[in-house]
Every structure is written in C-alpha cells, then in structure tokens.
Amino acid sequence: MRLKMKHIRNRITISVSVVVVCVILVITMIISYIYSNELMRRMAIITDQKMDIIVKNLEEELGKVIELQNSIQDDESLQRLIIEVSKENRNDQYLEREISEALRQYAYENINVNSIFAFDMNLDILDPLYKIEPYKEIVEEFTWFYDLVQSNRLSGFSEPTSFPNRQYHNTSETKATITYFSTYINTNNFVQIGYLLLNIKKDNIFRKFTQACQEEFDFVILVDEKANIIHSVGNSHLDNQEVKAFMTKRHEGVHDITVENLSTYIITRPVENYKDWVVIGGISYGTMNRESEMISKIVFLLTG
C-alpha cells in the first residue's frame, strides 16, 4: 500500500513539474515574442533617427559648398573684375588672370575644393590657362555644364566625374570629383553676368557620410532625380528599376523588401537643401534584431 501511495505521489509530482515547466516555457515564449516585437519597433525608431542624423550631416556638408558659392558671389573685388570683363564681351587676359587667381585662392583655402572656375554669358571660361589646349578641350568635354545652362537651372550638383582631368576610361575610382554649378549675378542690378563651377573632392565631402553609413547600415546609396548613383556605401543589390521605385516613394519613409534572400528594412530620405538627391538606406532585420534573435534561440533550446 505504501509503495502504491509513493508511486502515485511520484506521478503527481512529475505531472505537476511537467505542467509547471510547460507553463514557464509558454510564458517565456510569450514574453520573448512581446519583447521581440517591442525591441523591433524600438530598433526601427532608432534606425530612423540614425538616418535622420546621417542625412542632416550630409546636408551640412552640402551647405558648406553652397555657403562658399555665396561668399564668392558676395566678394566685391571679384564682382568688379567680372563686371568689367562682362562689359561689351571684353577679352582681357589680365582681368581673366586676376579672376582665376582670386578663385584659385578660394580653392586653396578650402580642403574640400579641387578648383573653381568662372564663365561669362558666352560660356567662355575666365581663366587664360583653360583657354589653351589641352585644357580648353577638357572644359568643352564637360557637357553636363552646358546641358545645365540649356535647362535654365540656377544651380545644381553633378554626378561624380573626373573633371577637370581628362575623362578617358572613367571608372568609379577615377570619378573623384563632384561639381557644383550656379549662376553668377551682378549684385548692383541683379542681372546675371556669368556662371560659377565649384569642383569638389568627392571623398572629402562624403567622408563623414560614408563612415556613419558603414557603422549603422548594411548599405546606403545616394541617388539623383534620374536614379543615377552619386555615392554608395556597401552593396545594395538594388537594380535601377527598384531605385526608381523608391525615388517615387521618397516621402513614404520606410519599406520592407527582400534583398539577397534577406528581409530588409529600407529607409528613404530626401536631402532637404538639395531636393534632387535622395538617400536610400537598407539594413536586414537580422542585423537590427540580433539581440531578439539570441533570446529566441535560447527559448528554442530550452523548449527543444
């Protein structure tokens, strides 16, 4: 009888233990699920905030270029020289040399700037050196500038190019500059009297942007309104049509897609001080949710 009672007690103890363990595991799994969802939500918010900071820093770098252009525009000495050259289409090499030297000094004083050029309304460069071969031909080959003039744009950034170097065998490595174009105005009567080209070192202007993107995202691409890639960090694996699709949804903010068989969180942000550019960043949910995945694996091992 005692053995029978002991056997029953053991069975009850085992049954209760199994029930308790099962209840604990179920509760743990529920908590893990809730925690994972909450963690993912918080990670998405944090990722959005990181992208906002990255884009804001990029806007600051572009703002420095635009600010430099404004400083050149407001330079009274340079104004007098360019106004004098613009009178009756004068072709004065002495004045042009003074203009080019003044612009060269601006370039020397700014670590991000490669070179700066001024043009008159006839699109003749106001730099005696670049009026002779082979430099003259290099300027003539920079068709982006002439296309922008024809489009009546007031300002704009180019795609990466090798300008003002010879543009043979262009690769991503040789396309080391980006050029900022703007009209040049006579501040006395606000009539346009020329154009400015600020040739910027691509690596310099995107250095902080690249470092931040490498730390926070699997990939980031900066694209223009035609979906041309201005700068990329990591390997996006996005084709041109996908990029164009994101361009049309630039203000929607976030998207979920599959990239290389990985569920990926995509963020798009327009660059506020240069609306032609959009930043597209991607990070896999696995990267975002590593902490949550670790908890899930522990629970799986316990239940296994």
Pair 84, 180 in one domain: yes
Place of tokens 């920079």: 142
- Angle (deg, nearest 10), helices 290-303 and 2-73: 170
Distance from C-alpha of 8 to C-alpha of 24, rounded to nearest angstrom: 24
Residue 58 has pLDDT above 70, yes or no: yes
173 located within any domain: yes
- Residue 6 domain-assigned (yes or no): no
Last residue of a domain, one of 170, 202, 234: 202
Question: Is 88 in the same domain as 161?
Answer: yes
The total of structural domains in the chain comes to 2
The answer to whether the predicted template modeling score (pTM) of the entire model surpasses 0.85 is no
Mean pLDDT of the chain: 81
Alpha-carbon gap, residue 100 to 83, rounded angstroms: 14
**CATH, residue 222:** 3.30.450
Instruction: Give the residue numbers spanning the domain of 90.
Output: 75-202
Lowest mean pLDDT among 1-5, 46-50, 74-78, 174-178: 1-5
Find tokens 């994101």 and name the residue: 246
Residue 233 belongs to some domain of the structure: yes
Q: What span, in angstroms and rounded, lies between the C-alpha atoms of 87 and 20?
A: 94
- Tell me: do 132 and 185 sit in the same domain: yes
Instruction: Name the CA radius of gyration of the chain, rounded.
Output: 30
Residue 114 maps to which CATH number? 3.30.450.20
Alpha helices in the chain (DSSP H): 2-73, 76-86, 93-108, 135-141, 143-150, 202-205, 207-216, 240-248, 285-288, 290-303
Looking at 153, 174, 202, the residue that finishes a domain is 202
Non-local CB neighbours of 276 within 8 Å, separated by 6+ positions: 156, 157, 224, 225
Instruction: Name the residue with higher pLDDT: 164 or 255.
Output: 164
- Assigned domain for 299 exists: no
Domain end among 158, 178, 202:
202
Among 151-165, 176-190, 210-224, 288-302, whose mean pLDDT is lowest? 288-302
Contact 237, 261 (CB under 8 A): no
Of 102, 46, 66, 43, which is closest to residue 271 (Cα–Cα)? 66
Per-residue pLDDT band for 90 (boundaries 50, 70, 90) equals: low
pLDDT digits (tens, 9 = 90+) for 198-254: 999 999 999 999 999 998 899 999 999 888 999 999 887 787 777 777 776 655 555
Same-domain check for residues 135 and 188? yes
Q: Which helix (H) or strand (E) holds 191?
A: strand 191-201
Backbone angles phi, psi at 188, to 5 degrees: -80, -40
For residue 172, pLDDT over 60 is answered with no
Helix (H, G, I), strand (E, B) or coil at 65: helix
Q: Do residues 122 and 181 share a domain?
A: yes
268 and 179, same domain (yes or no): no
